[in-house]
Amino acid sequence: MELKRVVVTGLGALTPVGNTIEETWKNLVAGVSGAAPIQGFDTSKFKTQFACEVKNFNATDFIDKKEVRKMDRYEQLALVAAMEAVKDSGMDLETVDKNRIGVVLGVGIGGIHTFEEQISDYALNGAERGPRFNPFFIPKMIADIAAGEISIKYGFHGPNYTTTSACASSTNAIAAAFDLIRLGKANVMVTGGAEAAITAGGVGGFNAMHALSTRNDEPERASRPFSASRDGFVMGEGAGVLILEELEHAKARGAKIYCELAGVGMSADAHHITASHPEGLGATLVMQNALEDAGLKPEDIDYINVHGTSTPVGDISEAKAIASVFGQHAYELNISSTKSMTGHLLGAAGAVEAIVCCLSVKNDIVPPTINHADDDCDERIDYAMNFTFNKAQERTVRAALSNTFGFGGHNACCIVKKYEA
């Protein structure tokens, strides 16, 4: 069976550095940090008091107020990003076959805002008054509902589900959507991911694991991947959505094409529930698998958007894996971690970073890894590799690879390349 080619024809995003694709890309290229003191709840007793929140977002600017009340914040972000992506794709929704359009979304945690709110209310008041839960508690909380909301809005009757693999969730969603199209089971897939876990439970839980940076005095400089003084990741929230389309379907309707989705890879560390393998064995395997799936050689890749969370172990193991896979070419390609600006969007990270790769390939620009100082080098990291520190770099980007690694040892990556007829 000959696999069908898949292209990217629409993008949408809500991130800590921008509420649209255009604003997000502009600020990433400019090296703008999205980190700031948390506004969503009182952090005065928390070890970490900052995060990368989506700013100036009012869901009722996009969604009917009655519907907004039925949605957790992560669902609102997902739906608005999907609305931008569908509009950007230029699809004529009156003529497309909606039975051949599906939605696969990646969500790591889901409706934690709703869960905390409802359970806290019951714990405080339930004993006296009895159980009294919002009738939308369950549908607002569960992780699959955002994908359902998108299909309901547009009447998309194709495959519809959610992938959950921690921080690899939305890259796994992209991989699943990719396979559905290239196997001929759909013409178009709306895919990506969303997350909104900057809550007392989210921050407190990650603090208990000693996973978060506690650099409260300078939050905008806290996420510093590949620097010796890194002390943990910065939580982020947001959504990224891509429209994947079968090439001939896209050509037939005259769609603009950002790039081609060339291949995906998946693997498991099989090592630890939270820590990455110290030698990057799973990361090595996932990149090798993606290259093989794409039919590309290591020297075909010009840019890697790394997982790069700014954690002491993770950054080292990923750098080792890149050196292992790419050999001498590791010193000729560009590497950057946009988490230095967006923070870690957990289940949405892969989607937003895949979008970054699409735009890098389209525009021949690599956004930077910010917050690195020349005297802040870790002797365990090979700085002969180009981490694109502090300033974006213009270069031809023929193909770009995006890495995402999740708790539980879940690894996924995708490769996009310039579209050639």
The CA distance from 93 to 100, in Å, is 12
User: Strand locations in 113-257, DSSP E?
Assistant: 160-163, 188-195, 238-246
Question: From CA 35, how far away is CA 214, in angstroms rounded?
Answer: 12
Crossing angle between the packed helical segments 349-363 and 21-30, to the nearest 10 degrees: 80
* Catalytic position from the list 113, 249, 277, 344: 344
* 344 labelled catalytic: yes
Cα–Cα distance for residue pair 43/27, rounded to 1 Å:
27
CB atoms within 10 A of CB 95: 8
Exactly one of 52, 113, 167, 358 is catalytic; name it: 167
Question: Cα separation of 194 and 348, whole Å?
Answer: 4
Cβ atoms of 290 and 264 within 8 Å: the answer is yes
How many beta carbons lie within 10 A of that of residue 214, not counting itself?
Answer: 15
Find the catalytic residue in 113, 277, 307, 410. 307
Sign of CA dihedral 305, 54, 311, 205: negative
How far apart CA 183 and CA 181 sit, in angstroms, is 5
Say which residues have a Cβ less than 8 Å from residue 94's Cβ, sequence separation at least 6.
none
Q: Let me know if 413 is a catalytic residue.
A: no
d(CA 276, CA 271): 7
What does DSSP assign to residue 46? S
Phi, psi of 397 (to 5 degrees): -115, 95
> Annotated catalytic sites, by residue?
167, 307, 344
